Amino acid sequence: MADQSIEVTHSLLERLFGDEVNGANVRLWDGSYWPTDRPSQATLVLKHPGALRAMFLAGTQVALAEAYLFDDFDVEGDMEALLDVASAVPERISALGTRLELARHLLRLPSDPIQRPVAVGPPQLRGRQHSTERDRQAISYHYDVSNDFYQLFLDRRMVYSCAYFETPENDLDTAQERKLDHICRKLRLQPGQRLLDIGCGWGGLLIHAVRNYGVDATGITLSSKQKELANERIHEAGLADRARVLLQDYREADESQPYDALVSVGMFEHVGRDLLPTYFAKALSLVRPQGVFLNHGIARGGRDISIKSRGKSFSQTYVFPDGDLVPIHTTLETAEGAGWEVRDVESLREHYALTLRHWVRRLEEHHEEALRHVQEPTYRVWRLFMAGSAQGFASEHHNLYQTLLVRPDERGRSGLPLTRADWYREAMPVSEPASQA
């Protein structure tokens, strides 16, 4: 039976990968290799004779991901490189005849049920999709994993969004600081202005904007752990009189005192296509005339729009429940329909691939420490998600856009300068009050 399983596995690997194995190889459960044992960027490790059956029989992205999460297989080396090689597999088995033939061969392999950790699995969300209460559950599932866990792979400010690289050699702390400054410059923040950060994370942007641009800043988040740590950091920085984080949904934000500027970084993906008009209308109600809004979010890339997959994606199931990516044209059209004027759109696609590679490397380097905070399957969720996202951004299946919007006044005046030149001039530091020195 063992010899038959090896023979069937070799045959299946040839069908699945063909000649597309440059930079990767496969190690079987008996220690043998396919197609060669030469050193490679990545090695797919099949843990038992039924591994390929567990990976491919269901024919869904979630089943394939779960085979990794629960150790039917592992990946040694560069996971992004392996995912790049594997990206051609769905096309090879998309034809009905090929799929049926593949299933016939997979069923020749043994079914090796393995023990699944009871506490690890998709969230059981309750209520209407994108209701305030259900959004709280979805956000808590992702962001309340463990502050200590996130600290292992994020930069020192814990900025959980795309960084901004001057060169690929920039370290992560430098690139994230540059991103925060890039956002503040786009918003043209001035001392004394009021800033609202929708989905503020652990407060990195708030602290940067208060310290360097002299604003008064409020952040809102649905994650209790983010709120707790963000306010702790604000207090430690001596900025509690000018910055604070509230546990609040964007739909609950107070409109009575309009802000000068809004920013939303990495929260937009949670809104949902059907709620986009509500999101942009609410944002408009939160700023004064000539107020600005920088919306920073992931979009479906050009190569992803025409792709149809079976069932929910791995990300929708295990990473961002109820997450919804839309093309940039949908975002812009909806924003304009709500009364915003689009002033600038910048793609940071390559920047996000670079950011994610930093995160994956740092997470892998802290594997053992991560297991003090989460179970192995949870560690694997983040490793797979971030490596897969890096591959998705690099291959244009995803994109990341910063969109600058303005609310014109009743006479159509934006109040903005004619060019972007001020974004790139050397900024003068804001003097801290004596009590903060």
- Asked, for residue 307, whether it belongs to a domain, the answer is yes
What is the count of structural domains for the chain? 2
- Give the end of a domain, one of 106, 124, 152: 106
Q: Is residue 123 in some structural domain?
A: no
Domain identity same for 309 and 180:
yes
CB 32 within 8 A of CB 109: no
Which of these three, 88, 106, 124, is where a domain ends?
106
What b/e string do you get for 62-84 counting C-beta neighbours within 10 Å, with b at 16 or more?
A: bbbbbbbbbbbbebebbbbbbbb
Whether 93 and 138 share a structural domain: no
The residue out of 106, 124, 157 marking a domain boundary is 106
Residue 407 lies in a domain: yes
Is 125 within the bounds of a domain?
Answer: no
C-alpha–C-alpha distance, residues 199 and 211, integer Å:
20
Residue 310, pLDDT score: 57
User: Domain check: are 158 and 305 in the same one?
Assistant: yes
- Residue 118: what pLDDT? 58
* Buried b / exposed e along 10-43 (16+ C-beta atoms within 10 A): eebbeebbeeebeebbbbbbeeeebeeeeebbbb
Query: Do 99 and 142 lie in a common domain?
Result: no
Strand (E) or helix (H) holding 77: strand 73-77
Give every CB contact of residue 163 below 8 A, 6+ residues apart in sequence.
Answer: 155, 170, 172, 175, 176, 178, 179, 351, 354, 355, 358
- Whether residue 87 contacts residue 93, with contact meaning beta carbons closer than 8 Å, is answered with no
Instruction: Give the DSSP per-residue string, 286-352.
Output: TEEEEEEEEEEEEEE-TTTTT---SSS-HIIIIISTT-----HHHHHHHHHHTT-EEEEEEE-HHHH
pLDDT for position 246: 98
Counting DSSP H helices and E strands in the chain, the numbers are 18, 11
Q: Are residues 272 and 405 in the same domain?
A: yes
Domain enclosing residue 155, as ranges: 132-430
Are both 351 and 202 inside the same structural domain? yes
> Do 196 and 289 fall within a single domain?
yes
Q: 111 lies in a domain?
A: no
Query: What is the reported pLDDT for 116?
Result: 66
One-letter amino acid at 43 equals T
163/94 same-domain check: no
- Which parts of the chain sit beneath pLDDT 50? 305-307, 431-437
CATH code of the domain containing 62: 3.30.1050
Instruction: Judge if 32 and 91 occupy the same domain.
Output: yes
**Does residue 160 share a domain with residue 89?**
no
194, part of any domain: yes
Phi, psi (rounded to 5 degrees) for 287: -120, 155
Closest CA to 65 of 389, 313, 307: 313
What CATH number has the domain bearing residue 368?
3.40.50.150
Whether residues 196 and 309 fall in one domain: yes
**Secondary structure class of 216 (helix, strand, coil):** strand
Query: Looking at this protein, which amino acid is placed at residue 384?
Result: L
Residue 117 within any structural domain of the chain: no
Which pair of tokens denotes residue 298?
Answer: 């992931």
Same domain, 384 and 270: yes
pLDDT per residue as tens digits for the range 64-81 = 999 999 999 999 999 999
Local structure of 138: helix, strand or coil: helix
Residue 324 lies in a domain: yes
